Chains A and B, each alone.
Chain A
């Protein structure tokens, strides 16, 4: 049976892609951010995942307002990105795992999460930046992937509690899979930031700090908030912490943080990173 080796949650700010391309890891602006990742690399080398199941949010690359799924699961043989209108670098295609994708889709619908399945799906920076951060270096990716997209473009968005439950259901789906795979669950986005409106530039260090403290052992602390309340606390794009809640949900009841990093600002954003593992009660 497949086994979840842990979860990684990370910001996915587009500017990171350019910083990687320009090799700015030691630049004073970027160093406190990039210095967070080597411990995550060492952890990944130790747990050696075969597959990454990645919760992310599309920012208007694959999905338009003509059809906007709340939850969409990729079921493609491979995933490609595009320049998104800003000249973002394109990466080598990331391999999918269609058999696992369909297993997840069947289990989710069986648990009344009526997801949209996507045999063709462009993935944007919310998918590719974490891939480049977690598995640096050009060339072959060491993992296959199952992308799961959560709508944060158009309200109503799914509630924090619902996203956590989605993660729990994905965790059960992975653990009921009949191949002996090691699976890492990834959640991308956040933490607090707001790009639009007179409130642009909003960051809430106190809330982010508490959110990261609570997430491993008391993830349901954040699920008592509504989407509107979380946006007031974390900004219109801070709501991406829904991806963190989904990834954490896949770990089961008890988890512990084995690494974390937090830095303000990268671009307009409070950048966060956590590595979590399940533990026995």
Chain B
């Protein structure tokens, strides 16, 4: 069987990712509180600066790009709270990451049940 680092299309969140993504994930964890979400929306730059995001993480947040956020050390469970601010559901995220339309992504899920 392949090791943890070579499942296609999959990044396991291990110690290396946890170190790389700490600031980004800490910011996203803060979005559990509604007041913090509002503050982020009011001044995104200042909020990212306060958590010390690096340039790669800041750019991935700016572009709302899930694969880039994962590459920058983001963990799916904390990133999901950022997606919540944007009003995106998990089919939106799946469609973006697979380069499909949301309708095509949902149709593929339905097809998996046949």
Residues of A at the B interface (CB closer than 8 Å) are 15, 59-61, 64-65, 82-87, 153-156, 194-201, 203, 205, 226-229, 231-232, 236-237, 263-265, 267-268, 270
Q: Does B18 contact A (CB under 8 A)?
A: yes
CB distance from B98 to the nearest CB of A (A): 6
Q: Name the 9 nearest CB pairs between A and B, nearest first.
A: A264-B113, A199-B9, A85-B81, A198-B9, A86-B84, A203-B112, A60-B77, A265-B109, A196-B76
Residue of A nearest to B7 (CB): A232
The tally of residues in B whose CB lies under 8 Å from a CB in A reads 50
Check if B1 sits within 8 Å of A200, measured CB to CB.
no
Interface string of B90-114 (1 = CB under 8 A from A): 1101100110000001101110110
Residues of B at the A interface (CB closer than 8 Å) are 1-4, 7-15, 18, 22, 25-26, 28-29, 31-32, 34, 37, 66-67, 70, 75-82, 84-85, 89-91, 93-94, 97-98, 105-106, 108-110, 112-113
**Pick from A226, A263, A268: contact of B1, CB under 8 Å:** A226
CB distance from B3 to the nearest CB of A (A): 6
Chain B residue numbers with a CB within 8 Å of A226 are 1
Check if B94 sits within 8 Å of A228, measured CB to CB.
no
Complex: A86 Cα to B78 Cα, angstroms: 12
Chain B residue numbers with a CB within 8 Å of A199 are 7-10
Complex: A154 Cα to B15 Cα, angstroms: 8
Check if A85 sits within 8 Å of B84, measured CB to CB.
yes
Complex: A270 Cα to B113 Cα, angstroms: 8
Check if A85 sits within 8 Å of B32, measured CB to CB.
yes
Check if B7 sits within 8 Å of A153, measured CB to CB.
no
Are A236 and B113 CB-contacts (below 8 A) given A60-B81, A86-B81? no
Chain A residue numbers with a CB within 8 Å of B11 are 196-197
Are A263 and B10 CB-contacts (below 8 A) given A195-B76, A197-B67? no
Chain A residue numbers with a CB within 8 Å of B112 are 201, 203, 205, 264-265, 270
Residue of A nearest to B91 (CB): A268
CB distance from A152 to the nearest CB of B (A): 9
Check if B93 sits within 8 Å of A200, measured CB to CB.
yes
Complex: A155 Cα to B3 Cα, angstroms: 13
Most chain B CB atoms below 10 A, which of A156, A201, A236, A237: A201
CB distance from A106 to the nearest CB of B (A): 31
Check if A268 sits within 8 Å of B90, measured CB to CB.
yes
CB distance from A238 to the nearest CB of B (A): 11
CB distance from A243 to the nearest CB of B (A): 15
Check if A265 sits within 8 Å of B14, measured CB to CB.
no
Check if A228 sits within 8 Å of B75, measured CB to CB.
no
